[in-house]
Structure 1
Amino acid sequence: MNYTKYVEAISKLHGVPKMDKEYELYYDETNNARIFRLTDDGFNFNEKAYFILGGLAFEKGKHPSKESLKRLIGKLEIQQNSTEIKFKHIQQKAKVFLELISRNHVRIFIEWLYDNKCWIHYSYRDNFYYSIVDIVDSLEESSYFGIEFSRELKSALYSYIDKDKDWFVQLLIYFDYPNVKNHGQFIDQILNWFEKIDPDRYDSNIEYLRQCLKSHRKDILIFLKGNKDRVMIKNYADIYRNSILTFYNATHVFDEELEIQKILDVDIIEVFGKNISYEFIKSDSSIFVQLSDLTIGILRVWMGFLESHSICELKELFSNLSATQVQTMKQFQAVMCGSLWENFGFKHGSGSNQFEEKINCFMEYDF
């Protein structure tokens, strides 16, 4: 299939630079729910565990030297009977981020990334946020003032839902969201919920949504019909495809994921008359895919850390780090920022503005 128009849309809407540069991108993924859906009790997967796809990126042919890789593997002290390096080998049972960056092998790996000026690329998805934004996107008024305004509306709704999540999830279950049959009743329930919001929590974005929904009481919410009952995300193939298309001249090497591969291989991905190069391989055949496993493991714990704290709490925790933690944090921050300086397209997220603000807080903090 010819995806040229899709690539042109990415360029126009997001202004990603150097989309035609010949990068080498290596991938692993974490928190793959396979399918994200509603059950009678809530979700089939922890909605706070963001799906993440990404890993290491290099300019074509410019990798860390074999000697540097050999020294790293030696320092990580991987057992001889291990066929490959896994995140668990450096995690050493650390559960939270501040514990993780205190582990010797994690510090060694981050220092290696820093010393070798490695780039990290990643895409993440907040499953619940991604699932509820169809409510906003179904309202044509949400697009009147551009993408950023639409994001503000989605983030405002997400924030309000988060304060009353149990009730809202039960609402979604009752209506078999996102395959709503009675749209008028669904809208009325949300409007009644808005009416109960504490006036002290007034938000102009919520008021805008309330007025939009009132005007659509007799309408069909376009993105909430023709779907499978309670299936909010049927797979994550679109994230893989988006990564491939964003850097259409790059070489993309994914850790083996058979179900995703079947979906992508249904048609040839063609851009500007050229087939895009990508492959799925067993991780034990590529050291850079293995190191991407370590990288994505660190990002998973890092994002969990950001998700579980407010910005005020994050700054308080940052101000009380040990000297060793500060050094590792600075190096990790430098790698993350350096990657975005090379190309801000190395980061792609489907998440709320509130979470993006936490990422920015980390990136800008003076450790």
Structure 2
Amino acid sequence: MDSKLRDLIKEYYEYKNMDRREFYYYDETNNSRMFRLKNDSFNVNPFQKFSLGGLVSEKEIINDNHNELWNKLKINSNIPELKSKYIFKKSDDFLESIDTKNIELILEYIKIKGYNLHFNYLNLLWLTIVDIVDNSYDNSKNNSIKRIYNPQLLKQELYLKVKNDIPWLEKLFKKYNFPNLVEQKELNDFYTEFAQYLSKQSNQNEYTKVLIDLFTNTVIKDNLFSGEESHIYIKDFSALYTINSKILIHSKHSFDEEMHIKEKIKSFSNSNIHWYKSHEHRTIQLCDCVIAIINRFINFIENNSYTNLKEQLVYAFDVAESPRLRRNLTLLGFLLNKSYLHEPLNRRLTTIDETAIKYEEFVSKLSSLSKLSF
């Protein structure tokens, strides 16, 4: 482990508890293994979000049977392994989908046991397009742009524009073998075509115009895309499996056994990573449920405006005649807020800033409501 990285994180984020020993348990959801262009389109829905995470405990619980919870869960006794699909209502509406007794039982159990939650949420499309902005921004000689405009907000603007026209983006990526942009002419043509696309947008703002300026006038000499493979945007998710073990080096990190990931990181020297078969360990099964709930929750936040989220909150607490829905929301908000306060590294959002801000506000609101409910 690079001790300089740990020291930098400690100093920059003022983290004081990175040396504690805890037990982290992981499972994943929406694991497409990679994100790429296959034939003429993305191999998976570009709005699918990969998440990895689960539970944190002060003591080892990998072999716990959690009988106190399992005896209460409303699942078929013939099911050999608890999966997240068994705890949700079948609905595309988030609020309706989480209004179940099983979710209430799981969240209440986690609260009583004093476990914390942790997660890494990854927006595939976002991670794919960020280097397009960085490549242009970092090479730009326009100091006024760099002084005034936050590159994160420029990336967000690009994301918000292209997410509404995925077929166009797929065609552009295929035409230029993105991200394998090596030849200068090919690189220039790629950015020129992107600038032309943005110029045709009717809903331009100052960030759109800055992107057009960057894409049109920047000469890229230090090319971030050198050495990249055509049509592959995310080769795998292995980096997400090792990041915690590199920073929280005294903790134990226990994963659902994914052989392709295990093979990719087999040379990784840290001895604090362990693999378990989920059908043999209920703790991992519980993580499968937890990370699915968190993934759906953040996706719900990401896909709704501030106004819609407020309306949904009003509906859940003032209109819907479901004490259980209110209970589940406040339990989730309480657990997420508590877990972050315990250790900020328990929350990682790799997506647009707007989502992170909405998430913070929504969780804070639910957590404050939980004080009135518990």
Q: Does the TM-score normalized on the shorter chain lie above 0.5?
A: yes
Superposed displacement of residue 20, structure 1: 1.6
2:70 to 58, 73, 85: 73
Moved more, 248-257 or 90-99: 90-99
> Which amino acid in 1 is paired with 2:289?
L
Q: CA deviation at 1:19?
A: 1.7
Name the SS for the 1:312 alignment partner. helix
- Report Cα offsets for 1:306-350 as digits up to 9, x if no partner: 233222112111111133311221111101111111011101121
> Is the Cα–Cα contact under 8 Å of residues 191 and 210 in structure 1 kept in the other structure?
yes
Q: Secondary structure at the match of 1:243?
A: helix
1:105 maps to which of 83, 92, 102? 102
1:206 to 2:208 alignment? yes
The one-letter code sitting in structure 2 at the alignment partner of 1:93 is K
Change (3 A) 1:309 1:239: same
* Cα distance change on mapping 1:348 and 1:315 into 2, 3 Å: same
Q: More displaced, 124-133 or 91-100?
A: 91-100
For residue 200 of structure 2, the aligned residue among 177, 189, 196 is 196
SS of the residue corresponding to residue 57 of structure 2 reads strand
Q: What are the equivalent positions in structure 2 for 1:281-296 lying under 5 Å apart? A: 281-296=276-291
Worse overlay, 235-244 or 321-330: 321-330
CA distance in 2, matches of 1:30, 1:262: 19
Query: 18-27 vs 295-304, which deviates more?
Result: 295-304
Q: 1:42 to 1:10 in 2, by over 3 A?
A: farther
Q: Tell me the secondary structure at the aligned position of residue 349 of structure 1.
A: strand
Q: Deviations over 1:15-60 (max 9, x none)?
A: 4442221110000001111111013432101111100000000124
Amino acid at match of 1:303: I
Conserved 8 A contact 1:91-1:103: yes
Q: What amino acid does structure 1 have at the position aligned with 2:108? A: E
Fraction of identical pairs, as percent: 25
Give the whole-Å Cα distance in 2 for the aligned partners of 1:220 and 1:229: 20
Q: How does 1:1-367 map to 2 (within 5 A)?
A: 2-61=1-60, 69-138=66-135, 139-140=137-138, 149-180=150-181, 181=183, 182-198=186-202, 201-203=204-206, 205-217=207-219, 219-220=220-221, 222-269=223-270, 276-321=271-316, 322=320, 323-365=323-365, 367=369
Q: Which shows bigger deviation, 7-16 or 220-229?
A: 7-16
Residues 352 and 17 from structure 1, CA distance in 2 versus in 1: closer, same or farther, beyond 3 angstroms? farther
For residues 301 and 142 of structure 1, the distance between their equivalents in structure 2, rounded to whole angstroms, comes to 38
Per-residue deviation, residues 200-254 of structure 1 (Å, max 9, x unmatched): 5312x3333333333324x356122321110000000011111222311110000
State the one-letter code of the partner of 1:255: D
Note closer, same or farther for the CA distance 1:220–1:172 as it changes in structure 2 (3 Å cut). farther
Mapped partners of 1:345, 1:242: distance in 2: 10
Q: Output the TM-score relative to the length of structure 2.
A: 0.86
TM-fit CA distance, 1:12: 4.5
Shift of 1:164: 3.7
The structural deviation recorded for 1:94 is 4.3
Amino acid in structure 1 at the alignment position of 2:174 = I
Tell whether the 8 Å contact from 1:48 to 1:307 is kept in structure 2 after alignment: no
SS in 2 for 1:93: coil
Displacement, 1:142?
Answer: 7.7
Per the TM alignment, residue 140 of structure 1 is displaced from its structure 2 partner at its CA by 1.2
**How far, CA to CA, are the matches of 1:66 and 1:43 in structure 2?**
40
Name 2:372's counterpart in structure 1: none
SS in 2 for 1:302: helix
For 2:218 and 2:13, locate their aligned partners in 1 and report how far apart those are by CA, in whole Å.
Answer: 30
C-alpha contact 1:173 1:230 (8 A) present in aligned 2: yes
Contact 2:64–2:283, Cα closer than 8 Å, also in 1 = no
Question: Separation in 2 of the partners of 1:155 and 1:116?
Answer: 39
TM-score normalised by the chain length of structure 1:
0.88
Shift in alpha-carbon separation, 1:267–1:110, aligned structure 2, 3 A: closer
The letter of the residue matching 2:95 is L
Q: Which moved more, 1:170-179 or 1:109-118?
A: 109-118
Q: Give yes or no for contact 1:254–1:279 (8 Å, CA) kept in 2.
A: yes
Q: What residue identity is the alignment partner of 2:78?
A: N
Q: What is the alpha-carbon distance in structure 2 between the residues aligned to residue 164 and residue 174 of structure 1? A: 16
Structure 2, unmatched stretches of 5+, are 370-374
Gaps of 5+ in 1: 270-275
Q: Amino acid of the residue matched to residue 72 of structure 2? A: K
CA distance in 1, matches of 2:263, 2:83: 25
User: Would the alpha carbon gap of residues 314 and 172 (structure 1) be closer, same or farther in structure 2, given more than 3 Å must change?
Assistant: same
| Aligned residue pair count | 354
Which stretch of the first structure deviates more once superposed, 2-11 or 287-296?
A: 2-11
Q: Could you tell me how far 1:116 is from its partner in structure 2?
A: 2.7
Distance (whole Å) between structure 1 residues aligned to residue 41 and residue 326 of structure 2? 39
Q: Distance in 1 between matches of 2:352 and 2:16?
A: 23
Does the C-alpha gap of structure 1 residues 11 and 176 become closer, same or farther in structure 2, counting only changes over 3 Å? farther
Measure the CA separation in 2 of the matches of 1:70 and 1:133: 45
